[in-house]
Amino acid sequence: MSHTDATRAVEAVWRIESARLVGALTRMVGDVGLAEEFAQDALVSALEKWPAEGVPDNPGAWLTTVAKRRVLDRWRRDERFQRRMADLGREIVERDGQAGFDAVLEEDYGDDLLKLMFVCCHPVLSTEARVALTLRLLGGLTTDEIARAFLVPEPTVAQRIVRAKRTLTRRRVAFEVPAGEDRGARLSSVLEVVYLVFNEGYTATSGTDWMRPELCEEAMRLGRVLAGLLPKEREVHGLVALMELHASRFRARVGPDGEPVPLAEQDRSRWDRLLVNRGLKALARALSSGSGEPWGPYTLQAAIAAKHAQAVTPGDTDWAVIAGLYLSLARLTGSPVVEVNRAVAVSMAFGPGPALEIVDALRDRPGMAGYHLLPAVRGDLLLRLDRRDEARAEFHRAAALTRNERERFLLDGRARGCGADT
């Protein structure tokens, strides 16, 4: 095996095994930062040995064994580490240390990943830190990969991850699945992080690419893992459904030159029917879960996406139902962004006039001054009302606000389509 092939094999195994390994080690040593340190030691060892020795038959077990040895080595030479382990009730005896260690580390892994998700997405961390730590520990991405995905400097990502781990240690965040009243809020934080990762891939906030599918794929993988671990949680299935249904449009969302293709102009024959069917099944699971409970925001959004997916042509879309679903979502979240989307649905169901009233009422809402889709939607409504000069100005304003070059080009084209300045 060449060095390059071995390195690729290590990277592939790491993506598959790293979260499980870090989760198991965190349960063992009680500290996510320390657990990742031991896991990284095992990764370095693999990079050193596999090119010469070949990839082992069971690479995951190989990494686990090396990590075990690192923990035992630390325990034998570091009194502070021994005291920490004793505080956690982990008694590793020299005489039968390996067997004792195995007994603890090889307990049921059932909820290790779930616990790790709750730790990575803990509300004591900033949103940026939660996203970076989740992609690092649960996705197995390097700091360079995370930095490139979000178009930020690598040292910035590295600093976020280091600070996040320090915060978790300092605040003594427990490695556990929360219960009681805290569970709902903590789960919402996990879902928020997964959806933020997906959205950044679905519509990049900046840069030259309209989409970054690798982020969407990672978010969907995490969502599916979460659904398997929490099969009775409606909003988990709702989020999976939402991501699957949106991802089904990938091939149709980008033109030959990488330009964005609006929903109404997409070739629906290019939508991925496998992902559509998976999304509809996930939505069905969401609707059958939590009997009697109101729909949450992800389930509502998935229901909206399902209406689009079930329409053979744009003209078949049931915009009145979609507008009603957006109204429920707006009342639930109080989000002006949802209201912008509701305005689009209202315009399609009842005309641009009533929709423009909704949009105009949002112009002074906090946070909307820099939201480029507000003038973009307003420009479209004004154009449909044949108020071309006003529409042109709105499209220019939207183009100036967006940081994505592909979207800016699209909006400038909409402005030019309004005719010459008068």
Strand, coil or helix: 289: coil
First to last CA, the chain: 69
Q: What CA–CA distance (Å, rounded) separates 64 from 68? A: 6
Helix, strand, coil % in the chain, rounded to nearest 5: 70, 0, 25
* Nearest by Cα to 7 from 66, 54, 65, 61: 54
Q: CB of 298 within 8 A of CB of 282?
A: no
Q: Kindly tell me if the per-residue pLDDT of 45 is higher than 90.
A: yes
Q: Which whole-number Å values give the CA distances from 75 to 91, 261, 276, in the listed order?
A: 10, 58, 51
Q: What CA–CA distance (Å, rounded) separates 281 from 241? A: 8
Q: What percentage of the chain reaches a pLDDT higher than 70? A: 93
pLDDT given at position 4: 77
Summarize the confidence of residues 157-162 as an average pLDDT.
96
pLDDT given at position 197: 92
Q: What CA–CA distance (Å, rounded) separates 59 from 57? A: 6
Q: Kindly tell me if the per-residue pLDDT of 267 is higher than 90.
A: yes
Q: CB of 20 within 8 A of CB of 153?
A: no
Q: What CA–CA distance (Å, rounded) separates 326 from 320? A: 10
pLDDT digits (tens, 9 = 90+) for 236-249: 999 999 999 999 99
pLDDT given at position 316: 96
Q: What CA–CA distance (Å, rounded) separates 390 from 314? A: 27
**Per-residue burial over 135-167, b = 16 or more CB atoms within 10 Å of its CB, e = otherwise:** bbbbbbbbbebbbbbbeeeeeebbebbeebbeb
Q: Kindly tell me if the per-residue pLDDT of 307 is higher than 50.
A: yes
pLDDT digits (tens, 9 = 90+) for 84-118: 777 766 666 554 445 555 555 555 445 788 899 99
pLDDT given at position 96: 44
Q: CB of 7 within 8 A of CB of 51?
A: yes
* Nearest by Cα to 36 from 67, 81, 2, 5: 67
Q: What CA–CA distance (Å, rounded) separates 417 from 411? A: 10
Q: Which whole-number Å values give the CA distances from 200 to 87, 251, 350, 378, in the listed order?
A: 41, 17, 31, 24
Q: What CA–CA distance (Å, rounded) separates 285 from 241? A: 9
Q: What is the mean pLDDT of the chain?
A: 89
- Maximum mean pLDDT: which of 79-93, 107-121, 384-398: 384-398
Which pLDDT band, with edges at 50, 70 and 90, does 272 fall under?
Answer: very high
Classify residue 271 by its DSSP letter: S
Q: CB of 346 within 8 A of CB of 354?
A: yes
DSSP 202-224: HS-SEES-S--HHHHHHHHHHHH
Q: Output the six-digit token pair for 419.
A: 């005719």
pLDDT given at position 304: 98
pLDDT given at position 322: 98
Q: CB of 394 within 8 A of CB of 379?
A: yes
How many other C-beta atoms are found inside a 10 Å radius of the C-beta of residue 273? 11
**416-421, Cβ contacts within 8 angstroms, sequence gap of 24 or more:** 418/379, 418/383, 418/388, 418/389, 418/391, 418/392, 419/388, 419/392, 421/389, 421/392
How many other C-beta atoms are found inside a 10 Å radius of the C-beta of residue 196? 17
pLDDT digits (tens, 9 = 90+) for 168-221: 999 989 888 888 888 888 999 999 999 999 998 888 777 777 788 888 999 999
Which pLDDT band, with edges at 50, 70 and 90, does 78 fall under?
Answer: confident
Q: Which residues contact 14 (CB under 8 A, 6 or more apart)?
A: 43, 46, 63, 140
Provide the Cα torsion 255, 259, 263, 264; round to 10°. Answer: -80
One-letter identity of residue 397: R
* Nearest by Cα to 23 from 281, 317, 229: 229
Strand, coil or helix: 267: coil
**Per-residue burial over 232-248, b = 16 or more CB atoms within 10 Å of its CB, e = otherwise:** ebbbbbbbbbbbbbbbb
pLDDT given at position 208: 72
User: Is the sign of the CA dihedral 244, 340, 268, 288 positive or negative?
Assistant: positive
Q: What percentage of the chain reaches a pLDDT higher than 90? A: 60
